[in-house]
């Protein structure tokens, strides 16, 4: 059965489904894995051969600078003998690989304390992670989980980390006519509107805006329980969320309405009903919601900086030596400088992505010394 048939059958049986359910099925497929969704297919989704790039596809320096920041965070936590790095939605694990390799090479004390948990919901990607990290898993320094619900304990000292994770969670779409539901007729999907659920109303009123005539906005209510889950398992530490997104203030200023996008073989689109399961569907992340939900759950919002500010802060002290380590020839340096520019400066991905940093049991004063927060705006 194709994914389209599966979704149509569900709509026949249940009636029109909320957009978030449609998006969930497109991205993650049927619960038993057949038919698969975008993230559970065997075909490569990431990088040149796939559908989209992430910063770690550009150069390992992204993971290396993160490793440097995580080492500092471990020190701010008083260098505990064990620190858990918990990555949400690691995908192929490219970033984890860069972080682990650089930590092993440059930060031996941190490396000694580090235990890395990859929480990857797609069973197919989780299987590939088991392969990639087989040696480290055998040594007990890396672990792969398909859900944080499988973890029953508490991390005494932890850094939770997510790159482009929250943008892949299912969202609701709301227009001034109501909340979007998806129906199906004669092999085609169509949209209809119903009054927004109380949860969606509350989300928009607290963290976003109500759409004006002709506008659409998204409400990612699915993101909120994640902060509660994290607060339940982390006693002390940091959370670092990197994504493209916006704040409520920016929405109030008229920006970031209708941010839903599709990606297929590096082509950007806006029609989520085309080729279900074959294209990525994403929406910008509401950082006001993540930060407020984090605060309500027991985290302290520490800073929201652009990726450029974050990486500049970490890398400037040693003039980005982490990027140029293997360069022998001037041409090699020039190539890496371009890649770095793409990731870390406002002309590339640097202003498109933001970094939200939360703390728990960390004094804001201690956290203010983190190099990644050097260029943070005051008063966040």
Ligand X SMILES: C[S@@+](CC[C@H](N)C(=O)[O-])C[C@H]1O[C@@H](n2cnc3c(N)ncnc32)[C@H](O)[C@@H]1O
CA distance 374 to 314: 8
C-alpha 273/C-alpha 163 separation (Å) is: 26
Shortest approach of ligand X to residue 145 CB, angstroms?
8
Please pick, from the candidates 77, 95, 113, 204, the single residue that binds ligand X as defined by CB under 6 A. Answer: 95
Shortest Cβ distance from residue 167 to ligand X (Å)?
A: 6
Q: Which two tokens stand for residue 115?
A: 């235990």
In this structure, the number of other CB atoms found within 10 A of the CB of residue 364 comes to: 12
DSSP 8-class letter at 89: S
Looking at the Cβ atoms of 62 and 362, the one nearer to ligand X is: 62
Does 63 bind ligand X (CB under 6 A)? Our answer is: no
Closer to ligand X by CB, 46 or 151: give it: 46
Measured distance CA(302)–CA(243) in Å, rounded: 16
- Choose which of 51, 98, 120, 354 interacts with ligand X (CB under 6 A): 120
- Judged by beta carbon, residue 4 or residue 92, the one nearer ligand X is 92
Out of 91, 208, 276, 301, the only residue in the binding site for ligand X (CB under 6 A) is 91
Q: Which is nearer to ligand X, 16 or 29 (CB)?
A: 29
Tell me if 119 contacts ligand X by CB under 6 A.
yes
CB of 294 to ligand X, least distance (A): 17
Which residue pairs, CB below 8 angstroms and at least 24 apart, start in 220-225? 220/166, 220/169, 220/170, 220/171, 220/172, 220/283, 220/285, 220/286, 220/289, 221/20, 221/172, 222/20, 222/169, 222/170, 222/171, 223/166, 223/169, 223/285, 223/286, 223/289, 223/290, 223/293, 224/289, 224/293
Does 322 participate in binding ligand X (rule CB under 6 A)?
no
Q: What is the nearest approach in angstroms of ligand X to the Cβ of residue 306?
A: 17
Residues 128-167: x where in contact with ligand X by CB under 6 A, - otherwise, as a string: -----------------------------------xxx--
Taking alpha carbons only, the member of 306, 283, 277, 279 closest to residue 223 is 283
Q: At 140, phi and psi to the nearest 5?
A: 80, 15
Contact 133, 93 (CB under 8 A): yes
**H/E stretch holding 85:** strand 83-88
Regarding 51 and contact with ligand X (CB under 6 A), the answer is no
- Which residue's CB is nearer to ligand X, number 84 or number 120? 120
CB of 28 to ligand X, least distance (A): 7
Q: Total binding residues for ligand X by CB under 6 A?
A: 18
Q: Is residue 90 a contact point for ligand X (CB under 6 A)?
A: yes
Site for ligand X in 168-197 (CB under 6 A): 168
Cβ of residue 346: shortest distance to ligand X, in angstroms? 20
Q: Which one of 82-90, 131-139, 192-200, 365-373 is the stretch in contact with ligand X (CB under 6 A)?
A: 82-90
Query: Which one-letter DSSP state was computed for residue 320?
Result: T
Single out the residue of 39, 203, 299, 353 in contact with ligand X (rule: CB under 6 A). 39
The distance of closest approach from Cβ of residue 133 to ligand X in the complex, given in angstroms and rounded to an integer, is 15
Work out whether 125 is an interface residue with ligand X (CB under 6 A). yes
Q: Does 122 bind ligand X (CB under 6 A)?
A: yes
Q: Rounded distance, CA 310 to CA 375, Å?
A: 7
- Shortest Cβ 91–ligand X spacing (Å): 3
Residues 1-14: b if buried by 16+ CB within 10 A, e if exposed: eebbebbbebbeee
Q: How far apart are CA 137 and CA 135, in angstroms?
A: 5
* Residues binding ligand X (CB under 6 A): 39, 46, 54, 56, 88-91, 95, 119-122, 125, 163-165, 168
């Amino acid at each position: 059965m194709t994914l389209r048939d599966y979704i149509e059958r569900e709509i026949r049986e249940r009636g029109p489904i909320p957009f978030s359910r449609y998006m969930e099925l497109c991205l993650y497929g049927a619960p038993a894995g057949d038919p698969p969704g975008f993230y559970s297919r065997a075909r490569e989704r990431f990088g040149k051969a796939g559908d989209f790039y992430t910063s770690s596809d550009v150069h390992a320096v992204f993971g290396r600078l993160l490793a440097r920041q995580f080492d500092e965070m471990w020190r701010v936590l008083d260098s505990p003998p064990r620190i858990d790095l918990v990555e949400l939605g690691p995908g192929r694990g490219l970033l984890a690989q860069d972080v682990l390799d650089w930590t092993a090479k440059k930060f031996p004390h941190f490396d000694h304390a580090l235990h890395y948990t990859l929480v990857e919901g797609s069973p197919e990607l989780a299987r590939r992670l088991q392969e990639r990290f087989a040696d480290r898993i055998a040594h007990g320094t890396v672990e792969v989980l398909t859900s944080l619900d499988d973890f029953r304990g508490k991390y005494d000292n932890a850094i939770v980390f997510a790159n482009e994770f929250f943008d892949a969670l299912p969202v609701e779409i709301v227009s001034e006519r109501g909340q979007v539901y998806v129906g199906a007729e004669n092999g085609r999907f169509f949209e209809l509107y119903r009054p927004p659920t109380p949860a969606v109303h509350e989300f928009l009123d607290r963290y976003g805006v109500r759409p004006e005539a002709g506008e659409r906005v998204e409400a990612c209510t699915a993101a909120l329980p994640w902060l509660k889950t994290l607060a339940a398992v982390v006693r002390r530490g940091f959370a670092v969320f990197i994504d493209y997104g916006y704040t409520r203030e920016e929405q109030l200023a008229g920006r970031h309405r209708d941010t839903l996008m599709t990606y297929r073989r590096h082509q950007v689109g806006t029609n989520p009903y085309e080729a279900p399961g074959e294209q990525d569907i994403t929406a910008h992340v509401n950082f006001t919601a993540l930060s407020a939900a984090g605060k309500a759950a027991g985290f302290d919002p520490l800073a929201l900086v652009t990726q450029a500010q974050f990486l500049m802060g970490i890398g400037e002290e040693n003039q980005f030596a982490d990027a140029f380590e293997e360069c022998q020839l001037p041409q090699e340096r020039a190539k890496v400088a371009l890649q770095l520019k793409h990731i870390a400066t406002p002309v590339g991905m640097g202003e498109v992505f933001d970094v939200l940093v939360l703390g728990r049991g960390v004094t804001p004063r201690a956290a203010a010394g983190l190099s990644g927060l050097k260029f943070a705006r005051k008063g966040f």
